Each structure stands twice: as C-alpha cells, then as structure tokens.
Structure 1
Amino acid sequence: MMTLRRLFLTALGCSLSACATVDIPSRNAPFESLPESHGAVAQGYEPLERSVLQLQPEFVTPVVAVDTLDGNAYNPQALGALGSVAGSDMSITKVTVRVPRTLKASEANRYLPQGDIVWREDPLGNRHAQVQAIVQNALEAGVRPLSGPVQAELDVEVLRFHALTQKARYTTGGVHSISFTMVLRDAQTGEALTEVREIEADLTAFGGRRALVAIAEGNTQKVRITGFLAKVIQQEILAPGSRAPRRGGLIQALNKL
C-alpha cells in the first residue's frame, strides 16, 4: 500500500513540474539578421552610378514660387507633324522645374508626417529650393543622353516629395513618394508637344541597418532619388506610360494622404 502511495505522489509531482515551465525573457536576445533581399530595388530601377549622373547642372532655372504650369495649351491640330513626334526624336534643350510655395513642408519627426514636402538630408532651410535643386539635377541627368533632331523643353511641376524623416530612416524605412506633372514644349515656339501628364515615381526607402550601410557607401537618399528620377524621366519621354507602377502598400497609401 505504501508503495502504491509513493508511486502516486511521485507521478503527481512530475505532472505539476511539467506545467510549471518558466518562459525565458527574450528582450536581450540578439536581433534577427535581415535577409540580403530586404529593401532591394526592383529590377530596372537600380540607382545610376554617380559618375554617370554628372550632378552639376549645365543649366538651372530656379523657379520655386510658381503655382501652375503656364504656356500654350496642347493643340495636336496646330502642331502638324510635330504632334506625332517620338521621344527618341527629341533632344531637351532646357529643363524647368517648379516647386509651388503652396506645397506644405513638414519638419515633424514622425513616421508619416503630414505635408507635401518631407526632406531632411540637407541642413534646415528652404525646403522648396532644396527639392527644386534635387529634381532639376535629376531630370537634367536623365534627358542629357537624348539627341534627336527635334529640340524641346521639359516643363515640370512638383506635386509631392516625400523622403524619410530621421525616425523612419533609422528604424522602419518606407517609401520615397514623389509625383510631378510634365509637359514637353517646342523649344522655338513654346507650343506643347504633349499633354500635361502626372507622373508617380515611388521608390523603396532603406531603413535601419540597410540605411546605415547605404550611407557608409555614399548611397544617400539624395543619390538614390536622383538616379531613380533620371531613369523615370528618360523612360517617360522615350516610351510614355510604359513604366509599371510600384506595387501598392499601406505605407505607400498613407504617404499620399
């Protein structure tokens, strides 16, 4: 009888000890390494080499206080043969970039600050002028290889320029959300060769460890955005509407609010 009682108590004790397993705190566990593909840029949108960009503009039209595109309206009937000119037949003699003062620049250090302009990589100052210089340099680099016989001017107005805040840059990353309108005009008459089109140029933005590595390699936000916009404008001139838009996501949608 004593033996059966001892066996019963032993079995009960083992059962209770199995239910009392203690969780090990994980707050001091090392961070999981990110995969190499984390935040990678989609094929075809890798940044251009800095030597290719030639970031110093050959001509700059620093207009930042204009609210709307002006000039003659698009009139295919009046253009004649020019109305069907291909992008490969053009050479761009002038790039004009406007950043309206009506666009709100935000300095709030939040993950998703409200505003039209979010830019922190230059010192605190005139964000409209800083964005104008970035877009100007990028578009000039993009159109420089075009060497067709038809001389045209590129007229652009920035609608949104969202890079990352400090908080997002060093943690989550996100999306560089940039949009603008563009129209090509005859260099001699100012007549519009194309309709005014809105272009969305959204680019994956590095965050955390990947951002720190990119900064160490000189691949800053400004370098990546400049190279990306150069490719975007060249493709939009050579083959309008041929770019596949970046796949939507929550951050991308919130960036457009």
Structure 2
Amino acid sequence: MHSLFKTLMAAILLVTLTACGSAPTATRFAMPDDTMPDETLLREMPPDVRIDSFTVTVPQSLKANERNLYYPIGDIVWRGEPRGDRHAQVKRIFVAGLRDAAPRIAGNRPVRLDVQVTRFHSLSEKARYTVGGVHDIDFRYRLVDIATGQQIGPSKNVNADLKGLGGEAALAAEGRGETQKARIISHLSRVIFEELMVPGGHVTANLGLLQAINDL
C-alpha cells in the first residue's frame, strides 16, 4: 500500500509536469550488513583525519528495477550504463567518488571509511528524456581507527540527493560530457568531503516535491 501511494503520487506529479513544462585503493574488507547499526545521535566530526582505506558495500537485499516507468519502485534504479549487474555498477560509482575525495581529506589520524549504500534511485529513461527528477541516493558510513581497529563514534546516515536533469537540459549535459555517472561521482566526492571536513557535515539540497515523495 505504501509503495502504491508513492507510485500514484509520483505519476500524478509527473503527468502534471509533462503537461505544463518543456520537454586511495578500496580494501577487500567486506562489511556485513548488520555491522552498521542505525545512528542514535549525531556524530561529532572527527578532528584531523585522513582516509587510509575504504570499503563500499551494496547489499544484494537492495532490489533493482529495470522497468521504464516514470517512477519505477525499487531500491536501485540506474540507467546511466548498459544493462548489467546494477549492484556492481553502483559500487563502482561510489568507489570512484571516494577515490576522488580521499586525497583532499588529509589529516593526521588514519581511518578506514566503511560505506554501505541503502538506496540508489536514479532516473528511468522515460523520466530522463522528459521531465527529469531526483537522483535519490542514501548511504551510511562509519569511521574505523586504523591503529586500534575501533569504530569512531556511531555510524551516520547520509542523504545525498542530486537534481536529475531532464529533456533538453539532459541532452545538452550529455553533449558536454556531463553524463549522469560523471555528475553523480562528482557529487558523491563533494558529499564525502563535506561529511568529514565541514562542521555539521553535508546538507541535503531542497529539491522540491519529487524529493518529498521519495522520502515518504
């Protein structure tokens, strides 16, 4: 019932919009799903840290949806690469973002950053080439002290939503080499940097009603 409500809300909004608008190295450490409990309080930003290594987990329990609807229901919706192992593709996107961010987080305390993807709902073909939408990206992470092997504070959930271009804007971006994949990798790099270097961490952009529907 919950999924049906989200689908109906998204469909109503998209029909309305259509009518009125123009068209370092990752380690092999594998982190089980149950080792990252939900946060119970906001973690203070660890001072003076650097990313010595990192892991990325995309649980197989996340369901991928390949249907070309305006709003396919699923945990993973990704069309920025040829059809294949979507879990592996999402993992590579996060790894690329982390590799870009890590050299800029250059403190003295070496840590391992463990990231677990909890949602990666990008745009279907139909949405991308008409009204656009929101790349709804959620993950949680923890920091582990390299010297002691102890986790630093609680794990933290992060919402990293990004505006998804549609129609002519999407085609123009593709022409400039700004593919969905390139934009998301750059965005994830910025989010990770802000989480570890900016007081308070990353602040999610306000992307309007579609974002609100995603969060229901």
TM-score normalised to the size of structure 1? 0.68
Change in Cα spacing, 1:164 to 1:84, as seen in structure 2 (3 Å) is closer
In structure 1, give the amino acid aligned to 2:59. Answer: P
Say whether 1:154 aligns with 2:113: yes
Say whether 1:142 aligns with 2:101: yes
Q: Deviations over 1:63-106 (max 9, x none)?
A: 789433359x99xxxxxxxx97744x111011111100000001
CA contact (8 A) 2:45 2:200 kept: no
Say whether 1:114 aligns with 2:73: yes
Say whether 1:199 aligns with 2:158: yes
Distance in 2 (alpha carbons) for counterparts of 1:188 and 1:64: 19
Deviation at 1:33, TM superposition (A): 7.3
Deviation at 1:59, TM superposition (A): 1.2
Q: Secondary structure at the match of 2:160?
A: strand
Say whether 1:225 aligns with 2:184: yes
Distance in 2 (alpha carbons) for counterparts of 1:195 and 1:127: 29
Identity %: 42
Q: Secondary structure at the match of 1:227?
A: helix
**Aligned position for 1:5:** none
The worse-fitting range, judged by mean Cα deviation, of 245-254 and 208-217 is 245-254
- The aligned runs of 1:1-257 (5 Å cut-off) are 58-61=24-27, 66-69=32-35, 86-87=46-47, 89-247=48-206, 249-257=208-216
Distance in 2 (alpha carbons) for counterparts of 1:108 and 1:64: 30
Aligned residues: 194
Distance in 2 (alpha carbons) for counterparts of 1:126 and 1:160: 16
Larger radius of gyration: 1
Q: Secondary structure at the match of 1:144?
A: helix
Q: Gapped runs of 5+ residues in structure 1?
A: 1-30, 35-57, 75-82
CA contact (8 A) 2:36 2:141 kept: no
Higher relative contact order (CA 8 A, sep 6+): 2
Change in Cα spacing, 1:91 to 1:127, as seen in structure 2 (3 Å) is same
In structure 2, give the amino acid aligned to 1:180. Answer: F
Q: Deviations over 1:160-207 (max 9, x none)?
A: 001111000100000011000011110122211131010000111100
TM-score normalised to the size of structure 2? 0.80
Distance in 2 (alpha carbons) for counterparts of 1:222 and 1:64: 24
Distance in 2 (alpha carbons) for counterparts of 1:256 and 1:64: 29
Distance in 2 (alpha carbons) for counterparts of 1:122 and 1:210: 19
Deviation at 1:143, TM superposition (A): 2.1
In structure 2, give the amino acid aligned to 1:253. Answer: A
The worse-fitting range, judged by mean Cα deviation, of 132-141 and 214-223 is 132-141
Change in Cα spacing, 1:216 to 1:155, as seen in structure 2 (3 Å) is same
Q: Secondary structure at the match of 2:169?
A: helix
Deviation at 1:256, TM superposition (A): 3.6
